[in-house]
Amino acid sequence: SYPEINYGNGAKWIKNLTQGRLSNFLGGHFADVNLSSKLFVHRLDGPGVVDLQVWSAPGLTKPLFAEALRQKFRPAKKGESFGPSCTNHWWKVKMTIPSSWKEYERVQLEFDPDCEAMIFSTDGVPLQGITGGYGGDRRVEHIIPREAVLRGIYEVVIESSCNGMFGVPWNGDTIAPPDMNRYFKLASADLVVPNQEAWRLMWDFNTLRELVDTLPGNSPLQNKALVTANAIMNAFTTGDDDNIKQMRAIAEDVFGKGWEAKGPGIYDEGARKAQVVGISYCHIDTAWLWPYAVTQQKTARSWSTQIDLMGRYPEHRFACSQAQQFKWLEQQYPPLFEKLKRKVASGQFHLIGGAWVENDGNLPSGEALVRQFLYGQRYFQSRFGKRCETAWLPDSFGLTAAYPQLIRDSDGTQVLCHMTPVGKSPRHNLESNNTALLVFGNGDGGGGALPKMLENLRRIRAVTNNHRELPPVSMGSTVEQFFEDIERDSKGGRSLPVWRGELYLERVATLATICQPASSDYVYPKKSIDDCWEKVLLNQLLPGSAIGMVYDDAERLYSEVRRDCQKMLDEVFGVLLTAPSTACGDSVLAGKPSGFLALNLTPFSRQEVVEVPLTGDGALPSFPTVIQRSLDGKRGYALIECEEDGICNRETSVHDECLSASVSVESVSSNNFILRTPVIKMIVCEGRITSIYDLVLKRELIEEGKTGGLVIFEDRPNYWDAWDVEIHHLEARTPLAFSSFRVVAQGPLRATIEARVKYGQSDIKVMISMDGIPATRQHDSRPLIKFDAEVDWHEKHKFLKFELPLNINNTVATYECQFGFVQRPTYKNTTLDAAKFEVCGHKYADFSEFGYGVAILSESKYGFACEGNVLRISLLRAATAPDADQDQGLHEFSWAVMPHVGSFLESDVPRAACLFNSPLHVRAIPRGAGTAEPFVRKFPFSLHGARNVFLETVKRGEDDDFESPTAKKTVVLRLYEAFGGYGRTELRISRNVHVLAAYTTNLLEDTKAELAISRDIREDGASTLDLEFRGFEVKTVKLVLADDERSRAKHSK
């Protein structure tokens, strides 16, 4: 019966003090008397137990296993320091294991070089990665195989690399520039016996503590976990085997009796359907705070570790993306690659993403995004016999609105998108679906899952098998199965919310293979093109937030691409022209050429003023088409007329009446100039643009009382220096006024003034030009105002932009993205509106109203903004972290201002932007070389009927036989609708190209449907295909061509 008197105090606690007590059970001030003191039974080191030899690779070289083992090693010992940063050191480690240790469950090598490392078998097979130091990603233990413990001798080879998981930041701040003179101390090289039951108790306790810290306060499970953890601490006495067994039994009050004996079978009990699906992953930035060479090592370390864990945790599944990293592994670590292939076949190692790298989602062109999937999926198919079914971009700084279509077209499935809730309150769209993907493991710098993570998940599942306050977690399934469950439960996605918006090399080589003369032995350079594309795709993960070493690598790779592409272009010209020719670059021509030819790589007709170098005496060539020269006599100007679908075009004579109505420059004073054509006039006054005036419509485009030009903003983000542009940077603005001018060219084809300004430590020179011809051949097109800048930039935390305050009013501005455009508000009604103050755009940004608009065209800059009526393009930044010298030095870039009649949808802006980004390839024909006529003048593919459909890409089919010019060929055309509406176009194929069949395909060039081919036998004998497009649709067409013998037989008839 209930006592009448109670002399005690009862079980009342002070909860926050009890909860705070839990931190004293492991480590900290009481580490010598708490559980941490019981984690190891034995520890030995030194000669005779762990014998060490080392060889240090010279400089920053990264020799592979076989080369390293050929070197001369020296004796080494624990406590030595190695460096400097990013150097590599190879160890031979021989362990002698005491015979008395055979009785223990596990014996380990603890190797802590305070940096990253990888353990190899003596025959060169990577076994696992090492992460030294005492961070949360610490992984320094290597389990010695049981047979080696019984034998008493064990040997391994270790490569240590002098960098941490996140590089070598000089002051400890992750994003600080690297300290290239850092040394790392070998903190341990010990033979140890862990107390496995003590480690399991530690994992028990950590899970209980996480329940206490994570669950809502005062819930039943939180209180039970706290009571249980507190009871474990009270039960800790001697820490011997019996005491540890007693404490582990207490933990079963939360986990359930006998839970551990079930092993991975714990996931088979409890709820039939899990709300959280766990899969391991380690995001490895292909370059960030480390260069590509370090990424290659990180990949092998991380993946070998995950394969090792699969042997101990059968439920463990590891997802991995980025074909480039697989290719590096295949090339540099073949034995590990073979192990990986076996794990892919067994279903434990999952291929995801399908792209070449986890690329930036904003800057790459539409075709480059296609190639990411094309090259990535073809690699996975060729090596593993399967493609990836899930697109995977967990760390991209923005996702283009073009992605859903590209993803869907590349694998034929509906796109479902999931944003994992880890680290956030999972509150979004719970009314539609209450499942989530738990993607766990150390990432960015690699690593992946740790044993403690997999142990914790087993315990969490045990908890949910007995309690209902946590969502149950499952292990062992794939990402694809997770999405299949969502698709089924959401009735094919119908119950899910929808989010709209954004979250040219082969053309000429293909032409040469189609149109080459019978005497030519030209072969399509597929391998060279693939090599170039792979280098470009690799570098498309760099949005500007990596260390300087990464950009050194990128510049080297881009230089190789430029060199190889120019070589391929020169080879093509040798095929297409009947006589030799040379590129018209900046150097003076050796002699007066007999003429010029220009190659137009766009599908558009065009008229263009081209600059050509003059002979050493500055004299104009003897032919009449170079009719203007610069005032310094170094450059001549000629007019190139490219007819519809023209490929190779000669310079054009200009009539006197055209010259009189062309462009001129008027110097009103030393810093006041007027550039004028018959339709557009621009005034530069006191170093600023004060007027852009349409002479035909009598319309001023600059807001009254305002000026346009260069402007400097203070650029000091709250933390992420090279990543973020904060809205408050717009509050500190300094307009720049040009201080000196000179006239460079006076017309009649081109008028140019050179403008200079010095700001801080930087020198800025801009050539401002206007040509006497319109931007495109559209009937009401206006001339471009071009700005060619040369900037010697030496600022810090400054942002250089160009802006125009326009006499235009609209609530949105238009920015090109991949295969289309997006529109962003020009106002700040809401915080979401205000957050869109800086916009990623590709070739143009347009601000229009009914009747008129102005666009800024860009050939290499991707940041734009339209604030109210002020249209801007971002030109240069100057962050100092993680690259202390970001953007420092000499830059050359161009942009253009394009006035246009009509709103954006009525304009020729997309066409003009394509032309601005694809200058003519001008070739000089040396005297005495004969008549350099092209074998073909017209492009074999042309579009008719819809001005909103563009031909983006012409390439050879991926599955062609490229070894022989007489083998059957396929040509792939990629087209898209550019204005966001319906389009119906006729694709005409020249009679010189005999098409056997035509198909629409997906982006991976798998056939979707056959197209009907019409033959125009009454006129030019062309073949035609009728194509329909919805807004922004990308369509891929594959043409199967007749072999050369059949084609020649047809032509002879």
Tokens 């263009």: give the residue: 608
At 237, list the tokens.
Answer: 């006495």
What is the torsional sign of CA 685, 689, 695, 698? negative
**Given 51, 253, 395, 531, which residue is catalytic?**
395
SS3 string, 44-59, reads: ECCCCCEEEEEEECCC
- Whole-angstrom CA distances from 432 to 276, 391, 828, 840 are 15, 22, 31, 31
Kindly report the CA angle at 777 between 773 and 781, in degrees rounded to 5?
A: 65
DSSP summary character for residue 182? -
At 297, list the tokens.
Answer: 């090592």
Distance CA 508, CA 1004 (A): 21
Distance CA 970, CA 907 (A): 35
Q: Which residues pair with 792 in a beta bridge?
A: 763, 890
Neighbour-count burial of 811, counting CB atoms closer than 10 A to its CB (0-12 exposed, 13-18 middle, 19+ buried): exposed
- State CA 949 to chain mean position distance: 27
Do 841 and 859 contact (CB within 8 A), yes or no?
no
Do 395 and 283 contact (CB within 8 A), yes or no?
yes
- For 732: left if phi > 0, alpha if psi spans -120 to 50, otherwise beta; the answer is beta
Distance CA 843, CA 865 (A): 14
Q: Among this protein's residues, is 395 annotated catalytic?
A: yes
Q: What are phi and psi of 372, to 5 degrees?
A: -55, -50
> Which DSSP string do the residues of 931-959 spell out, in sequence order?
---BS--B-SEEEES-TTEEEEEEEE-TT
- For 686: left if phi > 0, alpha if psi spans -120 to 50, otherwise beta; the answer is left
The closest alpha carbon to 253, from 214, 297, 302, 208, belongs to 208
The closest alpha carbon to 351, from 360, 362, 340, 363, belongs to 340
What is the torsional sign of CA 644, 649, 655, 658? positive
The closest alpha carbon to 1053, from 1017, 1012, 1025, 1024, belongs to 1017
- State CA 329 to chain mean position distance: 20
At 975, list the tokens.
Answer: 């087209």
At 184, list the tokens.
Answer: 């790392």
Kindly report the CA angle at 80 between 75 and 84, in degrees rounded to 5?
A: 110
- Whole-angstrom CA distances from 608 to 201, 883, 915 are 77, 40, 10
DSSP summary character for residue 31? T
Catalytically active residues, by annotation:
395
